[in-house]
Structures are given as structure tokens and as C-alpha cells.
Amino acid sequence: MRVFVLLFNARTENEGIHTIQLGDRNKVLMFESEDDATRFGVMLEAQDFPEPTVEAIDDEEIKEFCDSVDYDWELVPAGALAIPPEDNVTQTQWQPESDPEPEPDSEVSQNELDSIRRRLEGLL
């Protein structure tokens, strides 16, 4: 059966799935209805979450994922009004997608840069 889940940074190396934390357990919500999942995502955005992507995935795939990372799962029936909890975790296990830091140019050593700088200053 196809269900709908909420992903952050979908189809990137930094992809994360939305979970609800209950005590020390995480639970993935699987929505039967895409509209219900979208509505839940809009409510998350209202709580200052980044915009989630609603993805259709086979329920068995989500259950296997949950088993592999020791998460719980819950099927949200179509038409049920799921509401995000008011309390949110302060530290997520994923981070919003950001521009990658430019890598330093390692072809030129610091000594070479200092030498070039001295020669340029000598020209002034």
C-alpha cells in the first residue's frame, strides 16, 4: 500500500524523515491521504520547520526502515486530523540544506602565499 510521509531535504545526501518524539522513542507518521500529509506539513511550517516534501512510499519500505533504526510507526487514516505536538526538539539529527563551504585551495602552501604577499607589498 502506498502511504505518504514527510521528508526534509528530499533526494539529497542530507535527507531526513519527520518523526514525532514520544519519550525516548521516535515515531514516523504514514498518511493514507496525500492531502492530510500536506496539511500536516503546512502546520509544521507554521511552527517554523523548514518546508517538508510529501513523498509517496510503499508502507512496507517505511516499516522496514523503522525496524532498521528502531523507530515506531503509525498509520494515519484518511480524513483523520493529525496535529503536530506543540513541543519540538531543539536539535535535529539532520540540518536544513545550506550552501556548501568552499574548499580551501590546497595547491598553494601558506609559505608560498606569504612569499607572494611580501613581493606584492614590496611593489607598493
Return the pLDDT at 109: 73
Task: Encode 90-121: b = buried (16+ Cβ within 10 Å), e = exposed.
Answer: eeeeeeeeeeeeeeeeeeeeeeeeeeeeeeee
Return the pLDDT at 120: 76
Return the pLDDT at 62: 94
Quick check: 32 and 76 in contact, CB under 8 A? yes
49-98 pLDDT per residue, tens: 888 999 999 999 999 999 999 999 999 999 998 888 876 654 455 455 55
Q: pTM for the full model?
A: 0.69
Which residues, including other chains, have CB under 8 Å from residue 37's CB and lie 6 or more apart?
Answer: 4, 5, 6, 31, 54
Q: How many residues are present in the chain?
A: 124
